[in-house]
Structure 1
Amino acid sequence: MTIATPQGFGTQTHERLPLPPAEHMSDAQRTVTEALIAGPRKGVKGPFVPLMHSPVLLERLAGVGEYLRFNAVLPRHVNEFATLVVARELSNQFEWAVHYPLAIQAGVPEALLEELATGARPRSMPDDEADAWAFATELLRRHSVSEPTYAAAIRRWGEQGVVELGALVGYFACVCWIMNIARTPVRSEVAALPGFPA
């Protein structure tokens, strides 16, 4: 499986916004580092590496992401699948590698994810994942959703679910873009997970 465009684009792979050395961190950076280590993420990784250069933004985005990942009304398998749609659409290897096994644990069929990894619309999706795919893909490509896609999402998840699905797509687009800009590397232990598009 491959993602068509490498994270960060082009042949250059050097990290642009690495984690500041501990001895050079500001008090605000130390505070958010301690909060990330103590929270559900258990460390500073992925988008929080470049976001460390804006600790107030990091703190606020981390709170949004925590709500969307752990407290939103969407079923977990839909949440993880929509996250992978965003990661694939934006060619972000870190989020793909992290959320691929989480999606499988949540019940998304691996064969479906293998098709998604190629950039194609998966052929055999359950109805709720098909609705999530249409919603996320239209939002990312057309910057809105059609009436049929909106109506299907409202029927399935209600108004709160539609708002939270839109926010989920936006949140993961935001952190994927930041990592793509920063060329944040995928950690080797994440890259080794099954299904990682090499």
Structure 2
Amino acid sequence: MKKKDRAEKNKKILVWFILIIFVLSTIGGVVVYYGGSGSDSFTISSSGKNFRFKLETDNSGNQYYKVSSGRDEFISYYPPSQILLDVSEDTKSLLRDSAAFYISFDPEQPSLNVIDYLRYDIDYNLPDGKVSMGAVTKETSLYQLPVVTCANATAETPVIIFGISNVTSIRMDNDYCINADFSTSAALGVRDALVYILNGVEIG
């Protein structure tokens, strides 16, 4: 069982690595802002936990933060203080408190490679005990995923709808349904905001 789990984890890491290399060319690279006084590591306290940030560099020269808190680890690209999206407390609480959620999207919109990267990457960086499920908002032959819209959102299983847009925002327009809109150049900022919130880190 352990070998199977390890193989599955290694497979997810490989998929994540391939996707990030592929998508960074679309997004336009990664810019990392250093925390503290220019050091490559720092610690913040949030939600009663300490999160240690350590700057790392991948084989392609892209920099990112490896964040650890107890047994949980995740990756981010911007320090939380640099995420200036206005996300309501109700939205944050819904994401933090839910054990499972859907990420759904319109399969006919542009830049599906960016959305696919975000879906896999967010799933890979979730804390223990939290589950992300993929979905689409309409039937399509491109994806073998269930159709899930805001009508399916509940307090126990909220729905995040990804949309490519010129306006970047994360907002809850309907009960338990969150719209995350972004341009390809703003995708990593929205990705970081969601990963931080889901892991209990305050942004802004």
Q: Which structure's relative contact order is higher, taking Cα pairs within 8 Å and 6+ residues apart?
A: 1
TM-score in terms of structure 1 length: 0.37
Q: Which is richer in strand?
A: 2
Higher helix share: 1
Q: Normalising by the residue count of structure 2, what TM-score does the alignment of the two structures yield?
A: 0.36
